[in-house]
Structures are given as structure tokens and as C-alpha cells.
């Protein structure tokens, strides 16, 4: 059994239009939503073995809230291949994960995360909102074999659901 937690970065700032996309920080809403969602995930008592994160500033800042709240001490990879990547790139990254890892957190961007969710789940999502968490279980022992055929959507949490 494998578990995947897909987390879209928290809301980012467009205040400084001179900043390149990669360097955009979180805005006030993002700085409020990220710790809230991290606390929500902590309540589920899920123990992840690996965290993979896009290296953009907004994803790194989002990850810091989850790392702190979950007291995450396991391996963290900042993977360039998932920065604003299509779902095929995200899937390729996941399929190459060592099978010793059972539960993975992947923090990234739309539309890739939404497309990956739709590729892996029977349910259809129009959008994965900022700071949303999609929890998917796979009835397989190999990351290389994850697919719609062996997946089960466990939960879909997002900040506005609680407002």
C-alpha cells in the first residue's frame, strides 16, 4: 500500500510585478492558510517518509509550515522537474521513487497537480485550490505501478472548505 499527499502551494503574492515567477513569496492569505492546513494534516496523524517539493519560493515557504507542524525529520527533496510541470513529469518523478518509501508528500503547482489528480483518480476535479491537500491511497507496493486502477481518493481538503 502506498499513500500520496498532493499539496498545492499556498496563495502567492503578485505585489511585486518585477519578480520572476519562481521568486514570488506567499501573500497574507497564503501565510494564514498554510499553517491552518498543516495543522489539519497533523490531526490525521499521517506519517510521511519523504517530502518532495518544487524549489520555487512559494512552494518552499509552504513546505516550511508543514515541516514544522508535522515535526517532519525525514528526507526532503527539492526537485526542479516539478516546478510548474505537466502531470506527466510529476508522474515520472513519483514512479522513480524508491519503494521503501510508503507515504509521500509532494508540494507543487497547478495545473500539473490537478491534472495528475484527474489522471490518478476516478473523481474529476475542475481545480485544486491553493493550499489544498489531496490524499490518495494506492493498492500496490511499487510507486512504478500507481494508476487509476489501483487508486482510492481518501480526502480532498482546502482552506475555503473551513471558512
pLDDT tens digits, one per residue of 69-93: 999 999 999 999 999 899 999 999 9
**The model's pTM:** 0.97
Are the beta carbons of 135 and 2 closer than 8 angstroms?
Answer: no
List the domain boundaries for the chain: 2-13+21-162
Please determine, looking at this structure, whether the domain spanning 2-13+21-162 carries the CATH number 1.10.3720.10. no
- Residue 138 has what pLDDT? 98
Residues 6+ apart with CB under 8 A from 71: none
Are the beta carbons of 129 and 8 closer than 8 angstroms?
Answer: yes
Amino acid at each position: 500500500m502506498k499513500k500520496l499527499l498532493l499539496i498545492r502551494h499556498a496563495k502567492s503574492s503578485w505585489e511585486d510585478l518585477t519578480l520572476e515567477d519562481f521568486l514570488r513569496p506567499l501573500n497574507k492569505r497564503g501565510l494564514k492558510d498554510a499553517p491552518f492546513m498543516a495543522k489539519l494534516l497533523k490531526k490525521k496523524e499521517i506519517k510521511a517518509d519523504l517530502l518532495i517539493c518544487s524549489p520555487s519560493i512559494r512552494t518552499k515557504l509552504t513546505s516550511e509550515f508543514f515541516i514544522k507542524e508535522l515535526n517532519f525529520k525525514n528526507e526532503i527533496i527539492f526537485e526542479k522537474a516539478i516546478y510548474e510541470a505537466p502531470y506527466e513529469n510529476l508522474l515520472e518523478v513519483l514512479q522513480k521513487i524508491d519503494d521503501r518509501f510508503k507515504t509521500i508528500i509532494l508540494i507543487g503547482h497547478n495545473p500539473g497537480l490537478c491534472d495528475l489528480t484527474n489522471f490518478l483518480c476516478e473523481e474529476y476535479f475542475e481545480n485544486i485550490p491553493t493550499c489544498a491537500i489531496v490524499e490518495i491511497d494506492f493498492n500496490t507496493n511499487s510507486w512504478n505501478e500507481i494508476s487509476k486502477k489501483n487508486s482510492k481518493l481518501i480526502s480532498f481538503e482546502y482552506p475555503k472548505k473551513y471558512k
